[in-house]
Structure 1
């Protein structure tokens, strides 16, 4: 079996390089996740949420459930393909073209009161006190969030990803926090979540985050983000909102300091 796919440009070097071994991390109708020593690669059905570390197929999860791919232990990634050997013989997902992952752009603003109201009915499973304490220097608190919650992308990680994406979009440097997360995530959470956090540090995200930040006053874009996964969309939105609250506080503090100095 050979299937053609479109690959994220973030995976270009890995996919074009020499073959490296990979292991199966998990699979479902919408997605199949593979891990190498340095990265996670997702193979996604057309109707899955497009991750920045993925190859997307032209088929839907109904047309070709990803659980039907007989991927076994002998998997390799490289030379323009993902290849494996299954009970029915060899299989491959071939890279036919590339696409650019969604990215957050600097210069946005989030209507804090409107987002607070919209999120009030949604619970991502992370305590409000932890989310409310996030700052660009709160590495200890970030350590408590890493890996917090079940699943391939724990809610605590999604909150952190949202906060890192939000501070970047709002023009607030998050250097200390970003460095801490990059260093600690591989040992503190799942391989997929650590990969997505690395993307968030670079400003790469799922399209729903990009759309919500591009049109922060558009209720439909926020609703689409909240619909992502079981809690992922809500947790990402909570992190984005916290970034806006933090950015507003930093701006207020800066204005107050400047006024005091001038006086």
Structure 2
């Protein structure tokens, strides 16, 4: 479960001259983002988008039925978000897209560095098929829990991310997750879609890379510390999948 703090003032904003493509913009902030977020914004027509969640460290908007975020450097960098420097994000009484650039009020968020959110591949996976997970089990998890990312969804994201890392397709579970996505929050549904695509948190990727090494306990503890229960849910789902696939993972976080 992820939660956010009350809205606070934005900092680290650089004043720049106005350009024809951003006639009302008074400032620009550099941001990093996954390639798919960049491409999604670039494909959108100019116009307003709805702000669905706002806080001092994270703002989320709706773009064509999906949630795109703007998060501070101190916040969890979910794989559907732009990330900016500093510990706060701009205020967001309104949001719009102009020329493929997301604006929060009159602050333009220009994407420079691309963040790689692809799950790392795990070598030597013994299994050649997915771990068992029935439609009924998926239905018992989607949307179950509190906050913007319910715990049940986090478990599913971990399960899916582990399978993408193992290079094993899960078409039945993918279909069930997408069919039931309306039962959860927009942000969590978007993160489930990211997991189906093999897009994950950096902390989750780091934990997968650490499996079987001396770094594993520390990486697991870092992942477990995310949100109130999000990291724990990711670990639970991933460990369930990895165990069924014949891959050992430490149980203690």
- TM-score norm. by structure 1 comes to 0.74
1:30 is the counterpart of 2:46 = no
> Residues 141-180 of structure 1: matches in 2 within 5 Å?
141-180=137-176
Identify the match of residue 14 of structure 1 among 37, 40, 55. Answer: 40
Matching residue within 80, 87, 105 for 2:100: 80
1:196 pairs with 191, 209, 213, which one? 191
- The residue number in structure 2 matching 1:252 is none
Q: 2:67 aligns with which of 30, 34, 40?
A: 40
The Cα of 1:235 is off from its aligned counterpart by: 0.3
Q: Greater CA deviation, 142-151 or 27-36?
A: 27-36
Distance 2:72 2:104 in 1: 18
Structure 1 residue 26 displacement after superposition: 1.2
The answer to which of 172-181 and 95-104 deviates more is 95-104
Point out the structure with the larger helix share. Answer: 1
Q: CA offset at residue 36 of structure 1?
A: 2.2
SS of aligned partner of 2:140: helix
State the number of aligned residues.
213
Asked if the contact 1:80–1:94 (Cα under 8 Å) also holds between the matched residues in 2, the reply is no
SS at match of 2:102: strand
Q: C-alpha distance in 2, partners of 1:78/1:224?
A: 37
| Offset, 1:183 | 2.7
TM-score w.r.t. length of structure 2: 0.77
- Determine if the alignment matches structure 1 residue 71 to structure 2 residue 66: no
Q: Is the 8 A contact 1:136 1:176 kept in 2?
A: no
Instruction: Give the deviation of 1:81 after TM superposition.
Output: 1.8
2:24 matches 1:4: no
Give the whole-Å Cα distance in 2 for the aligned partners of 1:101 and 1:183: 27
Q: Max radius of gyration: which structure?
A: 1
Q: CA deviation at 1:135?
A: 4.6
Say what the alpha-carbon RMSD is for the aligned residues.
2.2
Q: What is the CA–CA distance in structure 2 between the aligned matches of 1:208 and 1:198, rounded to whole Å?
A: 18
- The Cα of 1:11 is off from its aligned counterpart by 0.9
User: Using the alignment, how far apart are the partners of 1:152 and 1:171 within structure 2?
Assistant: 29
| CA distance in structure 2 between the aligned counterparts of 1:142 and 1:154, rounded to whole angstroms | 13
CA distance in 2, matches of 1:181, 1:101: 24
Answer with 43-52 or 204-213: which moved more.
43-52
Cα distance in 1 for residues equivalent to 2:53 and 2:124: 37
Alpha-carbon distance change, 26 to 246 in structure 1, aligned in 2, over 3 angstroms: same
Q: 4+ runs of 1 displaced by more than 3 Å?
A: 134-137
Are the aligned partners of 1:101 and 1:205 in contact in 2 as well (CA < 8 Å)? no
Does the 8 Å contact 1:106/1:168 carry over to 2? yes
